[in-house]
Chain A
């Protein structure tokens, strides 16, 4: 069965510093991996996805993610964090089954 884990409930970084939000996954087939962001009382906004090809995927708002097959990871990164990046981030995986499985989320706080 497919699953995804976000090992950190909370990540705190200072504005201007690089940020990483971690995600690991488990699937039986080839993974399709996604990152979404959720602001308070809002739905999820799509950031980026990995389907195949380059392991480094670039997405919206300056975010990128690195797919690592040997470590079964898909960490979200940004070179320079903004206060406005503070939100809840969800990693999700799909492996060819119909439903997408989400992690529990990581709350990112960027302090000025």
Chain B
């Protein structure tokens, strides 16, 4: 059983650059979630997909952020014109939909540092 994978694991970029992260969910899972975690805080929900449809976006997700899941498998999260405040761990999780009680399984995260 391969779990959720995320690439890259670490990314250092300069302010104003664009970055893209990839998440590969557990193969049979139809839901995919993105979270952001800053130091000393719990994960904060950003957005989620059921299959290829993006069903909800948090108000934390400014217009510089965009997420896609084109074929209902892997997903990408792009941040345009990065700012120092975007520095955080970006976590991806996947689940098999069963109402709101399903368990989300998390990947190792991508740690972003914006200089």
Seen from chain A, the residues whose Cβ lies within 8 Å of a Cβ on chain B are 32, 34, 36, 41-46, 49, 51, 90, 92, 94-105
A96: chain B residues within 8 A (beta carbon): 100
Per-residue CB proximity of B34-66 to A under 8 Å, as 1/0? 000000111111001000000110100000000
**Chain A residue with minimal CB distance to B6?**
A43
Per-residue CB proximity of B83-115 to A under 8 Å, as 1/0? 000000001010000001101111111010000
Seen from chain B, the residues whose Cβ lies within 8 Å of a Cβ on chain A are 4, 6, 33, 40-45, 48, 55-56, 58, 91, 93, 100-101, 103-109, 111
CB pair A102 B44 closer than 8 Å: yes
**Chain A residue with minimal CB distance to B92?**
A43
B101: chain A residues within 8 A (beta carbon): 32, 49, 51, 94
Smallest beta-carbon distance A70→chain B, Å: 22
CB pair A104 B40 closer than 8 Å: yes
